[in-house]
Amino acid sequence: MNIFNKLHATKHWLTQSLKARLTLSAMFMVVVMLPVIGITLSNAFNDQLQSALENELRAYSYSIFSVAEVEDNQLVMPEMLLENQFNVIQSGLYAQITSIDLDAFKDKKTQPTRVSKNLWQSDSLLGVHLSNDLPSPKIGNSVFTEMLIENQPHMAYSISVSFGELEQAFPVTLHIFKNQAEFLAITNGFKQQLWTWLILLIVIFIIAQFIWLKWTLKPLNTLTVELEQVEQGKQNALEKSYPLELEQVTSQLNTLLSTEQNQRKRYRNALSDLAHSLKTPLAVIQSQQALPQETKEQISNISNMVEHQLKRAQSAGESAWHLGVSVEQTTSKLVNTLNKIYRDKYLTISVNIQKKALFKGDEADLMEILGNLLDNACKAAKSRIDFDVSFNAHCLRFTIADDGQGIEESQRKAILERGTRADTYDKGHGIGLAIVRDLVSSYKGELTIQNSSALGGALFVLTFHK
C-alpha cells in the first residue's frame, strides 16, 4: 500500500504542481530535442560526406576514361595513371574495367550479379581478391554502392560506357573502389565531437534551466512562505512585493484577511451586545418575588440556553481563514490560572506539549475548549492530571487524563450525543461539555471519552485533522 500511495502522490505532484510541469517541459526540450537535433546533424553530415565521396569517385572515373583507348577492338591503357594511389599496391583506391555483354541488357537498367570478363585493373589491385558479382549498370548509367573487399568496407562506383557505335561498339564498365577507413574515421570523429558537445550542452542547459526555474518561481515560493507565516499567526497580511501576474491575487488575499477579521470582530461585538441586552431583562424578571418558583427556573434555563447558544455562535469554526495559534502559550495561561483556582486541592498537572504545535482556528475557541476540559479534570481529579499534545503534518491531538472516578460507558455515549444536556452528569465532567462538543464539531474535529489506563480516571482525546 505504501508503494501505491507513493506512486499516487508522485502522480498528483506531476499533474498538479506548476513547478513539476515547467521542469518536465524544460527537461523534454533539453533531454529529447537536443539528441534529436544531434541525430539529424549526424545523418546530414553522413549524407553530405557520402555525396562528396561519390563525386570524388566519379571524377576519378572521368580521369581514367580520358586516358583509355580502343585499338583493334582491344582496350589500351597507360602504364601509370595520373592519380598515384592507383599505382601503389593495396593503397585503398582501386580501379577495374570489365567487358559488357550487350545481349544481357534488354529492357533492363542493371544486372548486378553477372559474371564479366576483366579487361584491365590498376596496379593497386595486385594481391587483392575481388568478387565476380560486381554491379553492371546499363550503358550511360552509374551505380554507387557499398561492398566488402577482403572483409573491409569499401565504397564502389560503377559506370558503363561504350567506345564507338553500332557494329564498332565496345561497351565496358569501369569500377572504382575506395576503402571506407578514412570515411569512417571522419564520421566517427564527427559523431564523437558532436555528442561530446551535445552532452556538455545538455548539462549546461539543465543547470541554466534549474537556475531559470528557481528565479522564475521565486515569487511563488515567497508567497508560500508568507501564507505559512499568516497561518501560524506570525503576520496578519502578505507584505512582500510580487510580480504583476500575482499582484491581484495577493491583493485579494489581503482584502479577504482584513474583511474576515473585521467581520468576525463586528459579529462578536454584536453578539456580546445582544447577550448583555437579553441578560438584563431576564435578571429583572427573575428578581421579581411574586413569580412562582417554576417560572424562575424556566427563566434561569432560558438564560443558560441564551448564553450557551451565543458562545456557540461566537466561535470561529469553519471560518474562511484559519490563523495559527500557539498551543503552548494558550495552555500555559490556562494551567497557571487553574493552579491558582485549585491550589487547595494540591493537584499535579503534568504538561507535555510538542514544540511548534499550532491550532488552526480562533484562540478564544481553543481557550474555551481546553478551559472546559481542564477545569472538569481539575474538579474530578484526586491529585494528578496528565495533559499531552502531539502535532504532525496531518493532525493535532490533545489528551487529558485524570485520576478521578472516571465516566461510565453509558454516560460517555450520552454526553457526546447531539442534543443531550451535558450538565446532567457527574460533577466534574458534565459542565461545559455541550459547548466543547459544539466547538469541536464546528472545526470538524473528533472528541472521544475513554478510561485512562495509567491514572484510572477519565481520558478525553481531542483530534483535529488538517
Residue 214 has pLDDT above 90, yes or no: no
Residue 329 has pLDDT above 70, yes or no: yes
Confidence of residue 310 (pLDDT cuts 50, 70, 90): low
DSSP three-state, residue 451 = strand
Q: How far is it, in rounded angstroms, from Cα 54 to Cα 282?
A: 112
The pLDDT value given to residue 59: 92
pLDDT, mean of residues 212-225: 81
34-92 pLDDT tens trace: 888 889 998 999 999 889 999 999 999 999 988 888 888 888 888 888 888 889 898 88
Strands 384-391 and 358-360: unpaired
Residues above pLDDT 90, as percent of the chain: 9
> Which residues, 6 or more positions from 138, have their beta carbon under 8 angstroms from its beta carbon?
105, 108, 109, 110, 160
pLDDT, mean of residues 255-266: 73
User: Residue 245 — φ and ψ, nearest 5°?
Assistant: -65, -25
Neighbours of 23 (CB within 10 A): 16
Residues above pLDDT 70, as percent of the chain: 77
Residue 19 has pLDDT above 80, yes or no: no
The pLDDT value given to residue 115: 47
The segment with the largest mean pLDDT, out of 107-111, 287-291, 339-343, is 339-343
pLDDT, mean of residues 198-215: 85
Confidence of residue 296 (pLDDT cuts 50, 70, 90): low
DSSP string for 6-28 = HHHHHHHHHHH-HHHHHHHHHHI
Alpha-helical runs (H) found in 287-362? 293-314, 327-341
> Which residues, 6 or more positions from 98, have their beta carbon under 8 angstroms from its beta carbon?
116, 117, 118, 119, 134, 136, 172, 173, 175
Q: How far is it, in rounded angstroms, from Cα 145 to Cα 136?
A: 12
Cα distances from 4 to residues 8, 10, 296, in angstroms, run 6, 10, 64
pLDDT, mean of residues 12-41: 76
Q: Hey, what amino acid is at 448?
A: T
Exposure b/e, 44-80, CB count within 10 A at least 16 = b: eeeeeebeebeeebeebbeebeeebeeeeeeeebeee
pTM of this prediction exceeds 0.85: no
Q: At what angle do helices 409-416 and 433-442 cross, to 10 degrees?
A: 60
C-alpha cell at position 391 = 502535532
The segment with the largest mean pLDDT, out of 67-76, 88-97, 309-318, 391-400, is 88-97
Closest C-alpha among 109, 152, 162, 99 to residue 130: 152
C-alpha cell at position 239 = 507584505
Q: What is the mean pLDDT of the chain?
A: 78
pLDDT, mean of residues 443-456: 84
Q: Computed over its alpha carbons, how large is the radius of gyration of the chain?
A: 48
